[in-house]
Amino acid sequence: MNGTPRRGPEPGELAELVRLLPPPGDPELSAGRHHLLKEHLMLQIQEPATAPPRPKRRRFALLAVPLAAAAVAAGLFAVPRGGDIPSPPAAKPGDQNSAAVLLDRISLAAGHQPALPVRKDQFVYIKSKVAWTTQTDDGPRVPQRLREREIWLPQSPGRRGLLREAGGKGKAVVLVGREQDLTYRKLAALPTEPGALLAGIYAKIPKSGKTATPAARNAAAFQELGELLTEQILPPKLAAAIYRAAAKIPGVRVVPDSVDAAGRHGVAVALVAHGERSEWIFDRRTLTYLGERGYMVQDTESARKGMTTATTAVLQRGVVNKAGELPGKP
């Protein structure tokens, strides 16, 4: 960053910011929403799971450069314990100016975090709680049970990673890294200028089919950026760019109160499309990313208003030397 560095957020400042936000308005509904849960393509499952696969999320190549983005393919496994997806009341988003202010503060906080480089011979470890919905053809979306998820992402093509769900009670799946997988090194090479990052995303979103309208393309761009926040360790400059890029997407709003899969309340930024609101949730004090939530604000053919369609909570991120190893516990 050039010039005098802008200060990061102080404790309590975001709560005051949220208090000063204008009264919430009615959500803007966008047509042509592509399915919330797009297919993750980052890893190839080498051993079959014993239960249906994770709900597919349709993805586009992230940027018009060789550093094409991908996310994580995974499986759903039988879960002996856990609850259904919680359905807290919907909050009405505020205006986009408020979202831009909030995202600017989040960007500043993210940019001031220390970098955590990852070597090519290491693994990114992410522990989370997750629950999505599944859908067969044009049938109704069915909530899945909340479960714990651990994943070890290889940073070199051909290396074996690992996915484990339900706190070790689910089946472990061996994952093999591929050349196009999004590693820390590739993330570090992505544009950190928000306009360039966003332009690259829009350039790869089809202008036909489910993303033919500007509103649908905006929703797809928001989802693409959101994918980078979940099962990754981001270079601070890229994280800052992601949030400032999101502020440029038309229709992004503030949700003053949302809750992640771990029950943690926070402030969120969101975009509504095809009756469904996608939220990124942040800690009010530290502005740290907590998780995501999908929430129906309108009845559709496949889901009813008030249904929670996705909920996640990032519990731990780290870097380890072996798949199956825990941070600080070799």
State pLDDT tens for residues 138-183: 889 999 999 999 999 999 988 999 999 976 666 788 989 888 789 9
Report yes or no on 150 lying in a domain: yes
Report the domain count for the chain.
1
C-alpha to C-alpha distances, 314 to 232, 237, 282, nearest whole angstrom: 10, 20, 11
Contact between 231 and 153 under an 8 Å Cβ cutoff? The reply is yes
Minimum mean pLDDT range among 4-18, 206-220, 296-310, 315-329:
4-18
C-alpha to C-alpha distances, 256 to 146, 226, 268, 314, nearest whole angstrom: 24, 18, 6, 20
Report yes or no on 264 lying in a domain: yes
The CA distance from 193 to 199, in Å, is: 10
What pLDDT is recorded for position 134?
Answer: 87
Report yes or no on 28 lying in a domain: no
Domain housing 224: 37-320
Report yes or no on 7 lying in a domain: no
- Secondary structure of 143-172 as H, E, C letters: ECECEEEEEEEECCCCCEEEEEEHHHCCCC
Query: How many C-alpha atoms does 273 have within 13 Å on its Cβ side?
Result: 27
Query: Is 207 a residue whose pLDDT tops 90?
Result: yes
Average of per-residue pLDDT values in the chain = 78
The CA distance from 41 to 29, in Å, is: 28
Report yes or no on 4 lying in a domain: no
Share of the chain above pLDDT 70, in %: 69
What pLDDT is recorded for position 319?
Answer: 98
Report yes or no on 15 lying in a domain: no
Report yes or no on 327 lying in a domain: no
State pLDDT tens for residues 83-126: 443 433 434 456 678 999 999 999 999 999 999 989 999 999 99
Report yes or no on 29 lying in a domain: no
